Structures are given as C-alpha cells and as structure tokens.
C-alpha cells in the first residue's frame, strides 16, 4: 500500500514516539476491522454521513460527545449554558494539544465555524439556528442564535473541530467539495485532538491509526494499532472475518449470520438503528429526469405518491429481503427518536387494485418509466431493497430503470442540484430528535436558513415549514413535541417521502474483542479492548 499521508514535523515526532512505545510492547494489540465502504474523505466537513463522521471522530473531536449510553458529555468543551434566549456560551477544555503539539484554543472553534458554514461544506446544518460565534477569551466562545434553540447542544455532537494553523499551513481552510470532485490536503490527511492519530491513508481506502499518546482523556482502549480495510463485497467481507483476517466487520451481511454463529470464537451483535431508510421522490421539477413522461412530473400528484407507498411493501421487504433484520416504519423517524408517535406509525393499505385506481385517476392508467439511483455498499442490503421496490412498483405500471453504484458515486445525487427522480437513502437524526429529520429532509430548501439541505425530493408545504420553524425555537417540551408530531403527520399524509424501515445493525466480531454497539451506528474505537 502506498501511504499518501504526509504529516508535518510535529505530528511525525508524535507518531514516531508512539511507534517506539509499540516496539517495546510485549503484547501489541493490533485491531483489524472492515466495513462496507470507506469514509470517502478525511475532511470532517465534506460529508454529513454517519460512516464518515464515525471514522473521523476517532481523530477529530467535537465540543460535546456521546457516551456509551448516547448521553451528552463534555469533550473539547467542559461546560455549556444558555446565557440568554439567543446565546449559548461554551467553556473550552484547557491544556488540550493538537496532535502536532500546538495548543487548542477558541481560535480553532471560530475558524471551524466559518469553515463549516462556508462553501463545500455539507455540515452547515449541524450549526443551524446560529448566526455567529464570538471569541470571549482563549477558552470561551459564544454562539449567537437567530432565536431560541433548545437542541443546539445536541446538534454539536457531530461537529468536529479542526486546527486553524494546520488548515492554513496546508491550504485547506475551505471544506473539500466532493460534489465537484474536489481534492485537497484534508482529503487524504487529518490532524485532530482525538484518541487516535492517522498514520496512513491509502488510495485503496485502507486506514492505519495509532493511539495519541498526548490525548487529554484517559484511554479506555488497549489498542496499539488500528487497521481499517473497506471491503464492499459482502461475501468477501464475511470471509475476512471467518478466516481471521479481521477481528470485526461492520456490517455483517444478513445471509452470513448463520455461518458466523456456527464458528467457534465468533459472535453476532444486533441493534435496531435510529436511522430510517426511505425513498425520495422528486416533487419539484416540472419534468422528471429519465422519465417517459414529457412536459410534466407525475410525482407532483399526491395520488401517484400514495399508490407508490401502497405498492412498496415494507413488511415484505423486512421478511424476504432483510430476513427480519429491519423494523418496518412509516414515519420520517422511528422508535428511539424524540417525538416519534406510534399512533401515527400506520402502514398504508396493501391493495394493488386500489393503487392502480389512484394511478388511473391521476392520468397514468398505463403507467410510465422513470430512473432510480441506489447504492450497493452503504446500507444493509441496499441494492436488494431497490430491486424489490422495482418489482413492486412494476405491479402498478411504474417501470423503474435502476442504476446501482457505490455510495461514493451516489452521494452526488443526494446533493445539489439533486439530479434524481427516485432514490434510496437513510437518515439518522444527529440530535436524536424528530426536528433534525423534519428540518433537513422535508422542510423547503432555503440556503439562507440552511434548511432542507437534504430535501432531495424538493417537497414544499408552507404549513409544514411554519410548524418546523416554530418547533425549532419552542422552549416548552410539551408544546414542541406536539408541533413535531403534527409535522410528522403532514409528511405522512402528503407522502413527502416513502419510509420503509429502520435497519437493524448487524456487526460481528471475535469473542476476544470487547466493543460498544449503539443505535447511532457510530463505532468509537476508544471503547475497544482486545483480550
């Protein structure tokens, strides 16, 4: 493997010192693991994707992090408080060093704020509601809000801080815009404050990390080296675990579960994920991309969307495609997310004749053709979910021309200008609150408000927008939850998206590996221990 990582002198010294420690270790604990895709970039602001943020959270750190129970706890900030309805003050941790030995200060937070809000970044949404950040002193910053923002601390747990000096030195002060295929120093390199140091990143996606000997926190792990290998092919990934080539896989293909359980020394872990899998349908364009219908957009008609929701049978997908490792879900958010309402979580009736009538009433008795994009390496059985949906939609006359691709290629369709008519995606609310999904996935697009950034289908409902914006500043939890549930019902009734399920995370590992599996599907290496 060719190492493309070029640390500067201070960081190189740290890595060398760590290596010396490893050389003298009697029992080196090298942890090898594999996942279905690589992070895509080492830039922490290029992708708002759980797999990317999870990996980079081992190197970079947020002001506030999640513990083993997913509760908030101090990280680079030791304290935070609302000093007024429109101001959040954060007291920063003192004595923290960047991995090159330089001090962490408020200047780094202010710089990261501008970088995250700037061009190329897809993480601006985590700072929603804020208009500015001010340095009070070297270890105090204040975030200025456009209005009350009760979930701002929850938003911060996925906001990773970068070094101002390192970014300036390496000409990477702007987030790398992956939608334009940009490449920068931060694409292949990283330098944070976190528990692990990036030693190398290969062109093949392989990542090698070593512990940060100057990390501010007490390490719970006992690792001396971490080697990550992306293995997109499910069978190859399973074989790597079964042969002992890797110690853990994330995720395990469903069809490999029985074989893993049969092998001594291996175990399977299952956890219902907070992520909702759903189909976005383009309701904004006057004419669909890759469609046989010219001059108009069938998806603008709610009757067509209703017919599609009736045809895409989430229960059948759970049984036949997911083999039980999913929980059918019919709302934009699922169980475990604040404001989820079980009473609203009702499946559309499975009546193909009724669905065909809706199509006919909308003027499409003979159906139509349309294109769809789908990943084959990002979610559990993603390609097979799409294949099943294609067959189901065919029953009501919608012929789908499916295009399958790696997620690194699919991401451009989930980003402006959203050049897709129909696409499968998943969303895990960063705040574990329904407002996150409603604001990002269904609220009408507004660059000024950083709203609807991932509203791929272009859904637009002023009444819905009003509810979401009010809920975003409502301080009364009861009143706020009422607004969120009303918004969830509107999205359901309008068929703004077509939810199908919460996937069940399936990991597998050697019995000699202790780790923490949580519903956010993040994999913090700081909790891993090798026996």
What distance in Å separates the CA atoms of residue 41 and residue 3, rounded to the nearest whole number? 15
Q: Identify the pLDDT of residue 27.
A: 59
Task: List pLDDT tens digits, range 27-45.
Answer: 569 999 999 988 989 999 9
Q: What's residue 179's pLDDT?
A: 81
Instruction: Judge whether residue 2 has pLDDT over 70.
Output: no
Residue 407, domain member (yes or no): yes
The reported pTM is 0.80
Q: Could you tell me which residue, 128 or 138, shows the higher pLDDT?
A: 138
Rounded CA-CA distance 10/100 in Å is 4
pLDDT at 16 over 60: no
- Percent of the chain whose predicted confidence (pLDDT) is above 70: 95
Whether residue 328 sits in one domain with residue 215: no
User: Where residue 369 falls among pLDDT bands split at 50, 70, 90?
Assistant: very high
CATH number at residue 45: 3.40.190.10
1 has pLDDT over 50: no
Distances (CA, A) of 334 to 148, 329, 477, 487: 26, 6, 19, 14
280 and 206 in a common domain = no
- How much is the average pLDDT of 376-392? 95
Say if 1 falls within a structural domain: no
User: What is the tens place of the pLDDT at every residue in 432-471?
Assistant: 999 999 999 999 999 888 899 999 999 999 999 999 999 9
10 Å CB burial of residue 417 (0-12, 13-18, 19+) is exposed
Residues 65-90: what's their mean pLDDT?
96
Residue 460: which domain range? Answer: 273-505
- Encode pLDDT of 101-129 as tens digits: 999 999 999 999 999 999 999 899 899 88
Domain count, the chain: 2
State the Cα–Cα distance between residues 101 and 202, nearest whole angstrom.
25
Which CATH number fits the domain that encloses residue 499? 3.10.105.10
Answer yes or no: is 67 within a domain. yes
Whole-number mean pLDDT of the chain? 92
Q: Is the pLDDT of residue 305 over 50?
A: yes
Whether 164 and 108 have beta carbons less than 8 Å apart is answered as: yes
In this predicted model, what pLDDT tens digit does every residue of 167-219 receive, in sequence order? 999 999 999 998 888 999 999 999 999 999 999 999 889 999 999 999 999 99
168 domain-assigned = yes
* Whether 300 and 193 share a structural domain: no
Does 337 share its domain with 195?
no
Cα–Cα distance for residue pair 222/531, rounded to 1 Å: 9
Same domain, 291 and 215: no
Q: Which of 421, 401, 407, 400 is nearest to 375 (CA)?
A: 407
**The pLDDT of residue 77 is above 50:** yes
Average of pLDDT values for 82-111?
Answer: 97
* pLDDT confidence of residue 28: 64
- Nearest alpha carbon to residue 207 among 191, 187, 223, 230: 230
477 and 520 share a domain? no
State whether 222 and 286 are in the same domain.
Answer: no
Mean pLDDT of 77-101: 97
Same domain membership, residue 290 and residue 146: no
226 and 328 part of one domain: no
Determine the pLDDT at residue 15.
41
Three-state SS string over 162-190 comes to CCHHHHHHCCCCCCCCHHHCCCCHHHHCC
Q: Domain for residue 68, yes or no?
A: yes
In a domain, 3, yes or no: no
Q: How confident is residue 12, by pLDDT bands cut at 50, 70 and 90?
A: very low
Q: Are residues 216 and 87 part of one domain?
A: yes
Place of tokens 């129909």: 422
- pLDDT (average), residues 380-400: 97
Q: Residue holding tokens 């909308």?
A: 362
Note whether residue 165 is domain-resident.
yes
Q: What digits encode the pLDDT tens for the residues 317-364? A: 999 999 888 999 999 999 989 999 999 999 999 999 999 999 999 999
Burial 68-84, CB ≥16 within 10 A → b, else e: eeeeeebbbbeebebee
Say yes or no: 516 and 458 in one domain.
no
Determine, yes or no, domain membership for 248.
no
The per-residue pLDDT for range 489-511, each reduced to its tens digit, is: 999 999 999 999 999 989 999 99
User: What residue spans of 123-177 are helical by DSSP H?
Assistant: 152-155, 164-169
Q: Are residues 196 and 282 in the same domain?
A: no
């Amino acid at each position: 493997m060719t190492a493309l990582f070029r640390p500067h002198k201070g960081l190189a010294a740290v890595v060398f010192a760590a290596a010396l420690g490893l050389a003298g270790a009697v029992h080196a604990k090298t942890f090898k693991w594999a996942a279905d895709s690589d992070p895509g970039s080492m830039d922490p602001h290029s992708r708002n994707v759980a797999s990317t943020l999870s990996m980079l959270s081992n190197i970079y750190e947020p002001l506030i992090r999640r513990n083993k129970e997913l509760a908030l706890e101090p990280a680079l900030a030791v304290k935070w408080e609302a000093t007024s309805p429109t101001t959040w003050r954060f007291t920063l941790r003192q004595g923290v060093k960047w991995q090159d030995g330089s001090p962490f200060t408020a200047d780094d937070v202010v710089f990261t704020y501008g970088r995250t809000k700037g061009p190329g970044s897809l993480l601006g949404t985590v700072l929603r509601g804020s208009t500015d950040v001010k340095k009070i002193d070297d270890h105090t910053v204040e975030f200025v809000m456009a209005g009350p923002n009760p979930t701002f601390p929850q938003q911060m747990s996925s906001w990773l801080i970068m070094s101002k000096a390192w970014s300036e030195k390496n000409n990477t002060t702007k987030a790398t815009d992956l939608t334009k295929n940009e490449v920068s120093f931060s694409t292949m390199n990283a330098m944070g404050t976190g528990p692990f140091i990036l030693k190398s990143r290969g062109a093949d996606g392989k990542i090698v990390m070593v512990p940060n000997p100057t990390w501010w926190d007490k390490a719970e792990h006992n690792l001396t080296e971490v080697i990550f290998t992306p293995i997109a092919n499910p069978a190859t990934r399973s074989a790597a675990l079964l042969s002992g080539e890797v110690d853990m896989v994330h995720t395990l293909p469903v069809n490999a579960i029985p074989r893993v359980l049969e092998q001594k020394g291996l175990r399977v872990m299952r956890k219902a994920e907070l992520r909702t899998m759903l189909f976005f349908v383009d309701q904004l364009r006057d004419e669909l991309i890759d469609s046989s219908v010219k001059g108009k957009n069938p998806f603008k008609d709610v009757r067509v969307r209703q017919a599609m929701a009736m045809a895409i049978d989430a229960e059948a997908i759970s049984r036949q495609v997911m083999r039980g490792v999913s929980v059918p879900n019919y709302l934009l958010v699922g169980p475990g997310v604040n404001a989820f309402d079980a009473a609203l979580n009702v499946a559309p009736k499975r009546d193909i004749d009724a669905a065909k009538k809706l199509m006919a009433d909308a003027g499409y008795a003979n159906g139509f053709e349309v294109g769809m994009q789908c990943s084959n390496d990002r979610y559990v059985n993603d390609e097979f979910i799409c294949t099943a949906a294609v067959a189901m939609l065919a029953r009501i006359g919608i012929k789908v021309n499916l295009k399958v691709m790696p997620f690194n290629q699919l991401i451009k369709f989930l980003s402006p200008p959203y050049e897709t008519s129909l696409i499968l995606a998943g969303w895990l609310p960063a705040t574990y609150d329904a407002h996150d999904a409603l604001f990002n996935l269904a609220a009408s697009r507004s660059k000024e408000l950083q709203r609807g950034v991932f509203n791929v289908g272009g859904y637009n409902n002023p009444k819905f927008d009003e509810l979401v914006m009010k809920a975003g500043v409502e301080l009364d939890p009861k009143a706020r939850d009422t607004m969120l549930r009303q918004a969830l019902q509107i999205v359901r009734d309008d068929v703004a998206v077509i939810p199908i399920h919460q996937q069940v995370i399936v990991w597998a590992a050697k019995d000699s590996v202790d780790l923490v599996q949580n519903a956010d599907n993040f994999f913090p290496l700081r909790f891993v221990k090798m026996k």
